[in-house]
Amino acid sequence: MESDFTELVGKYGPPAHAVPIAPAELDALAGRLPSELLAFWREYGLGMWLDGKFQFCRPADYAELVEQIFENDPDLLPSATHMVGFSAFGELLLWNEQHERVLVNLPWLTARVRAFDAPEPGDPPHLLLATPLFRLGREGSFDVFERDDAAEPLFARALARLGPLDLGQCYGFVPMLAFGGSAKLDRIERLDAEVHFSLLAGAGRCPVMAVQTPGGHPAPLRELGSGTE
């Protein structure tokens, strides 16, 4: 049976601008990340899809960011939470060894932990890491919408205006949205992702948005890192 990541390669092609990840590093992640992801990285390396709309990253490079976001969290221990990729604007894809898939939207400081949602009929027994990436090609997905009457998605327009991202780069709003910035095309710059994400994470804690009943709407459950030392 082919893995979800094999299907994604068929959908988007091999990741562009890929760099290899050392076999020893992959071996050290065995049992901590899904085997399908490690096999995908072993074959294709770390690269990006759709001109940088999403790119994979080395978990060790973002361990300090994960510690910053999840410090003292009672459920999502930083030591057991691994960042594996991010969108052009800073929607982070992570894997927790106990609770599985986690999404953190840094521009808007929100998070989703699928395991915290009430299960719906037909939910898979495991919350597949790759599932959100199947909507990557949809307009508006993994994107930010300009705050005006038209509410147009910004990724394609930022790509045309600023050019494609390099590995390790992101698009960011200057000033940041959390500090009164505007989600406007002329406020977007190409930035170092690790540095920018740390600044975004420092702007405040992320509420975990959870759907508590089937068919319900996401509501704040608690904040990430809300435990005590």
In whole angstroms, what is the distance from residue 33 CA to residue 99 CA? 12
Look up residue 177 and give its amino acid: L
Look up residue 26 and give its amino acid: L
- To the nearest whole number, what is the mean pLDDT of the chain? 91
Percent of the chain's residues with pLDDT above 70:
92
Tell me the backbone φ, ψ of residue 161, rounded to 5 degrees.
-85, -40
pLDDT at 1 over 60: no
Q: What is the arithmetic mean of pLDDT over 35-59?
A: 97
| Residues 66, 83 contacting (CB under 8 angstroms) | yes
Token pair in block for residue 220:
């704040």
pLDDT for the residue numbered 226: 73
Looking at the DSSP bridge assignments, the partners of residue 172 are 189
pLDDT higher for 34 or 178? 34
Q: How confident is the model at residue 54 (pLDDT cuts 50, 70, 90)?
A: very high
The residue among 108, 58, 72, 55 whose CA lies nearest residue 218 is 108
pLDDT higher for 148 or 76? 76
| Pairing mode of beta strands 110-113, 100-105 | antiparallel
pLDDT at 223 over 80: yes
Q: How confident is the model at residue 123 (pLDDT cuts 50, 70, 90)?
A: low
